[in-house]
Amino acid sequence: MNIRNILRRIQLSLKMVTHGIPFYHSMIDKGYDVYLNHHKIIHWRDGYPVFTMSSPALFSKPMANFIIRNMFGVIQNRALPNMMSFAITPDCTLKCPQCSFADIAKVTTQKPLTIEESKKAIKSAQQMGVSVITLTGGEPLTCPHLDELLRCIDKDVSTVAVFTSGLELEVRAANLRKAGLDGVYVSIDEPEADLHDLHRGQKGLFDTAMRGVKAAKKAGLTVGFSVCAFPDSIKTGRLERIIELGRKCGVHEIVIFSAAPSGNLKDRQDLCKTDWIEEIITFSEKYKEDHRYPGLLVYNHNASWRGLGCSGGTRWFFLDPYGNVNPCDFNHLKIGNIKEEPLHLIWDRLSSLPPFQQTTWTGCKLRDPQYRDGNLRQYINP
């Protein structure tokens, strides 16, 4: 090696020292800006920075799994799942009008998965590379084997969060953390106790949820609100008041889903319009740089051309309590059942269907008339 090349390599090494860290910071900030529309570190959990519960903590082993699996997905030219949403129980005592699962629970004659079948499903998902597992229901905290399921999850592969109404969270938070839970989203429909309780059909639920939030924070969990926004949520000030409540409670994140024509709301055609969704995305902008507030994950920002696009059936899937694999929690297009065939074969079929071969830049597929009116059953094996 001649002197000129040696000097150039020395110069490169110096630039790596002086420019490498700022460059890496810029990459991290830009990546989370595209994904979340912010790059706030919302929580330090187990020594790792958390930007959102919808992806693993940065520098953690599940994040390494996320990166490597996506790299191999590119090599294979194949969509590999990053996330599994798993409804571990159909049971729930509440009467939420926006429930996306209610129509399934009312009509099915299928038996729920056993504990061993549920464990096998989790193992299969992790073998496929899933780096984020969210446990839902029904009400997952009523599931008698929740702790056992948490303990069976390989925490070197996946991070895990629970969506809950807050029932039993106060008394169970510490033990759930010990069992392997990383984070919890508590559903908040109204920022006022009486309205929230009325909406969900259970008196005292709001106060129970708030005590659960406090206990979950004390246990070291990453804690967030889960909010279902409606077309009038900006006009009535409801969404802004919930965000203020989140700030006062010190939650780390607020995920905002826009009500979709699914479940109890399947006949709400007004939800297919997009003007009110754009209003929510615009409204959220004022919080992105304000570190007094929790990180906001506005799902419809993430699911639009600004972010990843709708990735249900492309990068993640929903497993219902009966073993049916669906594109997402709201899109109940049953592709197959894990009691009848391996999960990886069902995923291969799902991600190969024309509507799911790539993410959808126009947002949630359920709002797309062409998707809703299409004969998708022609793509599914009986």
Q: What is the DSSP string of 236-247?
A: TSHHHHHHHHHH
**Per-residue confidence (pLDDT) for residue 51, from 0 to 100:** 98
Which parts of the chain fold into alpha helices (H)? Answer: 3-36, 61-76, 102-107, 115-127, 146-152, 169-179, 193-200, 205-218, 238-249, 275-284, 299-302, 343-352, 369-373
Which pLDDT value is given to residue 214? 98
Q: Tell me what pLDDT residue 375 has.
A: 56
Task: Report the distance separating Cα 187 and Cα 213, nearest Å.
Answer: 11
Distance from C-alpha of 209 to C-alpha of 288, rounded to nearest angstrom:
26
The amino acid occupying position 365 is: K
Q: How far is CA 100 from CA 106, 147, 191, 266, in A?
A: 12, 25, 21, 8
The two tokens of residue 16 are: 């790596």
Tell me the pLDDT of the chain averaged across its residues: 93
pTM: predicted TM-score of the whole model, two decimal places: 0.94
pLDDT at site 374? 61
Bin 250: left if φ > 0, else alpha if -120 < ψ < 50, else beta. left
Structure token pair of residue 368: 């797309």
Per-residue pLDDT of the chain (382 residues; tens, 9 = 90+): 588 888 888 888 888 888 888 899 999 999 999 999 999 999 999 999 999 999 999 999 999 999 999 999 999 998 999 999 999 999 999 999 999 887 776 667 899 999 999 999 999 999 999 999 999 999 999 999 999 999 999 999 999 999 999 999 999 999 999 999 999 999 999 999 999 999 999 999 999 999 999 999 999 999 999 999 999 999 999 999 999 999 999 999 999 999 999 889 988 989 988 899 999 999 999 999 999 999 999 999 999 999 989 999 999 999 999 999 999 999 988 999 999 999 999 999 999 998 899 888 888 888 887 776 665 555 454 3
Tens digits of per-residue pLDDT, 57-76? Answer: 999 999 999 999 999 999 99
- How many C-beta atoms surround the C-beta of residue 206 within 10 A? 23
Q: Are 323 and 115 in contact (CB under 8 A)?
A: no
Q: Tell me the C-alpha distance between 107 and 93, whole Å.
A: 17
- Other beta carbons within 10 Å of 261: 18
User: What pLDDT is recorded for position 369?
Assistant: 74
pLDDT at 65: 97
Q: Residue 10's pLDDT is what?
A: 86
172 in Cβ contact with 216 (< 8 Å)? no
pLDDT at residue 192, as a whole number? 97
Residues of 326-344 as b/e, b for ≥16 C-beta within 10 angstroms? bbbbbbbbbbbbbeeeebe
Helices 343-352/115-127 angle, 10° precision:
60
Bond from prior residue into 138 cis (ω within 30 degrees of 0): yes
pLDDT of residue 381: 46
- How far is 59 from 10, CA to CA, in rounded Å? 28
| First CA to last CA distance, the chain | 65
Give Rg (Cα) of the chain: 21
